[in-house]
Amino acid sequence: MDLILRRLLVVMSLFGFVGLEAQSTLSGRVVSDSGNAIAGATITLVSLGYSVKSDSLGRFTLSGTPGSTLSLSLRASGYRDDSASVVLTRGKSVDRSFTMISESTPLPEANPSDRVLRGRVTDTEQAPLTYANIQVNAGRRYVSDDSGRFVLPIPGTGGFSLLVRRIGFEPEHVKFDSVPAAAVRIQLRAVARVLAEQRVTGRAAFVSLDLGGFYGRMREAERGINHGYFLTPEDFELRKPTLLTNMAEGIPAVRVWHHPVEPWKNRIEGVSGCKMTVYLDRVRIVGKLGGVDDYVNELIQPTDIAAMEVYPRAVGAPPQFQAMNGTCGVVLIWSK
């Protein structure tokens, strides 16, 4: 009983009696292979067994749920039975013509020369080889697609041969007595090549950074052993500062004091305003005891600097570079 009720609801929806959702319409026309309308053709909705007939102009109409597929069978006196499927689109009607072949029309004869070979080219690990070159009977060439597949027309009758090649693989010559009924798989073996030994050695762009231990301390900071901030040659190249003190801008717990008139007198300070100790190539140039400090911007130009280390707190600086201003931080400058 439930099955009958469900079929009834579907049939009612085909005629628009059930309005739970908008219906899509198939406006069809049945014509002969010569283009003439076929009146009285029977169009059956296969899933339900529901049928309609075409009118004098060969037209018929069916409705259904948007997005569904209608599987149809078509019958008409004097014509060969046919079938078709139509997907109902959302929001608009589908117009479709269905051509039926007259029983008096002779069927096309099979051409024995129309032979097709389907296959795929792979390596020995079954990975597809794209754009492999395939030559049929040492003549016409074809190319496999981006998944290694190919479809080749095979001329003549009897056996044939294929020569399959691709750069980096050994050529494969395959012979067939006839066209296989199933797709074939052709494997190519990679060509083993031994390259001459190449020895590559590297070094830092600036020897002073290796000798001064710059990169070693930077790796320690990455592991959390020290708490310094490292400005590499790449940082200087990217920012292209006009003054050395510009590179300290934005470092946590560090500030740059700006002279109101003479910017070359700017200096690097801790957050409390204390003057940080500055070393240039291991020589202390700011933070001297009992003397007047030199302005760091006057001693070296940014274009002459390879890298810089900033330690906001004295306890975080390397032991060999002591802070001379109590607990204030340390700046290490390395020249090129």
In the CATH scheme, what is the code of domain 16-100? Answer: 2.60.40.10
* pLDDT band of 296, cuts 50, 70, 90: confident
Reading the block at residue 93, the tokens are 């009607």
Q: Closest Cα partner for 179 from 233, 236, 103, 115? A: 115
Share of the chain above pLDDT 70, in %: 87
Bigger pLDDT: 176 vs 293: 176
pLDDT at residue 204 in the model = 63
Share of the chain above pLDDT 90, in %: 40
Q: Closest Cα partner for 14 from 88, 82, 84? A: 88
Q: Where are the domains of the chain?
A: 16-100, 115-188, 207-335
Mean pLDDT over 280-292 rounds to 69
Neighbours of 24 (CB within 10 A): 22
Helices (H), the chain: 2-14, 207-211, 214-222, 233-239, 296-299
* Topology annotation, domain 115-188: Immunoglobulin-like (2.60.40)
Q: Is 6 a residue whose pLDDT tops 60?
A: no
Note the pLDDT tens digit of each residue in 196-210: 788 877 666 788 788
pTM beyond cutoff 0.85: no
* pLDDT band of 42, cuts 50, 70, 90: very high
pLDDT at residue 110 in the model = 47
Q: What share of the chain is helix, strand, coil (3-state, %, to 5)?
A: 15, 35, 50
Alpha-carbon distance values, 91 to 36, 71, 96, 156, 258 (Å): 30, 20, 16, 51, 69
Whether 115-188 and 207-335 share one fold: the answer is: no
Note the pLDDT tens digit of each residue in 232-275: 999 999 999 999 999 999 899 899 989 899 988 888 988 888 88
Q: Amino acid identity, residue 261?
A: V
Domain 207-335 has CATH 2.170.130.10: yes
Q: Closest Cα partner for 243 from 321, 328, 314, 333? A: 333
Among the residue ranges 8-12, 210-214, 223-227, the one predicted with the least confidence is 8-12
Task: Find all residues with CB under 8 Å of 328, minimum gap 6, and list them.
Answer: 269, 270, 272, 274, 275, 276, 277, 314
What is the pairing mode between strands 94-100 and 24-32? Answer: parallel
